[in-house]
Chain A
């Protein structure tokens, strides 16, 4: 019977390198890199998914940047982009207070984090219910005497993107929170003790100890959140399907390619998005280095 241990270590090494890498590399090539190459190629054609492809040069890109129907959706990303800052600020606030002595610490930590673990479709329905006329939000507003603010949260085009970006904050804040909490807890306790002896209050401790120590993690989360905002898809797609002016760039791309069968144009849109995300991530790697 064939046995690996009878071979010399030199031969074994070759065998194991090939045996262990061939499947993972194959999968990586076919499902991570090939789609990118194909997508770039499709983006220069007018392919509709079944008939013959025709090379159309930069036409698709021209359409994206000149037809307002296509580039307007980028403005929807701005809602998610600004919501990101609120999300990070809240996460940082809770991470900071929960890293000091607090009663029921684990309970608060769990509750604040838990929404992040939930299924996206479940969250979508939960907030469709929350925003319904006479739903949870309207009931709460009436209870505290703010009924004059009640509106069609998902029907009013002026409000819908705030509502959806709010859901996004609710969903993802827990993730940033837990990362910040981890980073803050890795600051050695003696530093606070020394600061307390010197009479530093909590705010001063935050500004002079916590913030500088986790600055890198904050920037990292900020950039992750920015590319997340650009590729926002699930929440608006599940909740509104992109109606009432809530279509994000990814929804527009998916619809163009799969609903209207314009694979060429859809690919060009995806290339644009990929390009922006790679640039943003590249900036992150350049400024914040590898490894942390």
Chain B
């Protein structure tokens, strides 16, 4: 009886895992299949029937060229690189000063950064829009960059937490050698923050790559499309041409998949440490 129960338990365990896998994967598989079908084939075959020709990349070509996805990738990469580097610098500078020095107002400043995390950005867009507009940043790439730098300050926390593990005695012995505070930040603290920097790169990178409403609201110009907004525009011109839309979706997903496969471990660790605010 005990043995039977154990077998049943094992069965349920694997059955539920397989079900979970199926649910997670099936919407993606259907998209993957459709992206290789010709227009005629798409209308005559069901969504779960594999395509007849796995080398039919015509839809990918159309999605990429007609959907302006190259522009999307270019802008996404530019915004991503600037934001990720900027966030790392800003976050580590703030964390360095707040962690290493006690000064009048330091608690207040920390509090201000804490308080800002409570404000969900999507609720304040109505007013943020006017500010971006009056600074002349509307429809420039800087609208997105500056919002990613100024409002998402998770990096400050990640770095502050990590600073605890960098011993102050390192700073002190450098000071005995006459190093300036800037040298200490640049040559000692910043290199030791590397694991935290990886975390910030990942959290920020995922956020920026997947963000939709910031570029949608602030950079509607066609030249400034990012991946999200160029894909969003597929609704109009490709209307019912699902074989092309699905190819566009695959193009947007593949970079994520590749990144995930290679950086799995870092992504798990990054999310777990970044979420404990």
| Chain A interface residues toward B at CB < 8 A | 3-5, 7, 9, 12-13, 16-17, 20-21, 23-25, 27-28, 30-36, 38-39, 42, 49, 90, 93-94, 97-98, 102-103, 106, 108, 110-115, 117-122, 125-127, 129-130, 132, 134-136, 139-140, 170, 174-175, 178-179, 182, 202, 227, 231, 233-234, 237-238, 250, 253-254, 257-258, 263, 266-267, 270, 273-274, 277-278, 281, 292
Chain B residues whose CB sits within 8 angstroms of the CB of A17 once the complex forms: 97, 101, 103
Name the contact of A178 in the complex, choosing from B13, B46, B129, B272 (C-beta under 8 A): B272
In the bound complex, do residue B212 and residue A33 qualify as a contact, i.e. CB atoms below 8 Å apart? no
Q: What's the minimum C-beta distance from A289 to chain B, rounded to whole angstroms? A: 12
In the bound complex, do residue A121 and residue B252 qualify as a contact, i.e. CB atoms below 8 Å apart? yes
In the bound complex, do residue B120 and residue A231 qualify as a contact, i.e. CB atoms below 8 Å apart? yes
Most buried by B among A122, A130, A254: A122
Q: What's the minimum C-beta distance from A249 to chain B, rounded to whole angstroms? A: 9
Q: List which B1-43 residues lie within 8 A (CB) of chain A.
A: 9, 13-14, 16-17, 20-21, 23-28, 30-31, 34
Name the contact of B249 in the complex, choosing from A16, A122, A136 (C-beta under 8 A): A122
The answer to whether residues A140 and B26 also contact, given A121-B232, A234-B213 and a CB cut-off of 8 A, is yes
In the bound complex, do residue B47 and residue A31 qualify as a contact, i.e. CB atoms below 8 Å apart? no
Chain A residues whose CB sits within 8 angstroms of the CB of B112 once the complex forms: 25, 28, 33
Chain A residues whose CB sits within 8 angstroms of the CB of B94 once the complex forms: 20-21, 24
Question: How many angstroms between the C-alpha atoms of A231 and B149 in the bound complex?
Answer: 22
In the bound complex, do residue B24 and residue A111 qualify as a contact, i.e. CB atoms below 8 Å apart? yes
Chain B residues whose CB sits within 8 angstroms of the CB of A233 once the complex forms: 122, 213
The answer to whether residues A27 and B150 also contact, given A97-B17, A125-B234 and a CB cut-off of 8 A, is yes
The answer to whether residues A9 and B181 also contact, given A24-B90, A126-B28, A170-B27 and a CB cut-off of 8 A, is yes
In the bound complex, do residue A115 and residue B271 qualify as a contact, i.e. CB atoms below 8 Å apart? no
Name the contact of B47 in the complex, choosing from A16, A39, A135 (C-beta under 8 A): A135
Question: How many angstroms between the C-alpha atoms of A119 and B231 in the bound complex?
Answer: 10
Contacts A93-B16, A112-B24, A238-B212 aside, 10 further interface pairs with beta carbons under 8 A come to: A16-B97, A17-B103, A35-B127, A42-B126, A102-B14, A126-B28, A136-B26, A139-B46, A237-B213, A273-B123
Most buried by A among B14, B119, B185: B119
In the bound complex, do residue A30 and residue B131 qualify as a contact, i.e. CB atoms below 8 Å apart? yes
In the bound complex, do residue A129 and residue B271 qualify as a contact, i.e. CB atoms below 8 Å apart? no
* Chain A binder among B54-62, B172-180, B191-199: B172-180
Most buried by A among B93, B103, B127: B127
Q: Does B206 contact A (CB under 8 A)?
A: yes
Chain A residues whose CB sits within 8 angstroms of the CB of B128 once the complex forms: 31, 35
Chain B residues whose CB sits within 8 angstroms of the CB of A25 once the complex forms: 109, 112
In the bound complex, do residue A5 and residue B131 qualify as a contact, i.e. CB atoms below 8 Å apart? no
The answer to whether residues A20 and B228 also contact, given A32-B116, A182-B268 and a CB cut-off of 8 A, is no
Question: How many angstroms between the C-alpha atoms of A130 and B246 in the bound complex?
Answer: 11
In the bound complex, do residue B249 and residue A231 qualify as a contact, i.e. CB atoms below 8 Å apart? no
Name the 6 nearest CB pairs between A and B, nearest first: A27-B150, A31-B150, A182-B272, A39-B127, A5-B180, A35-B127
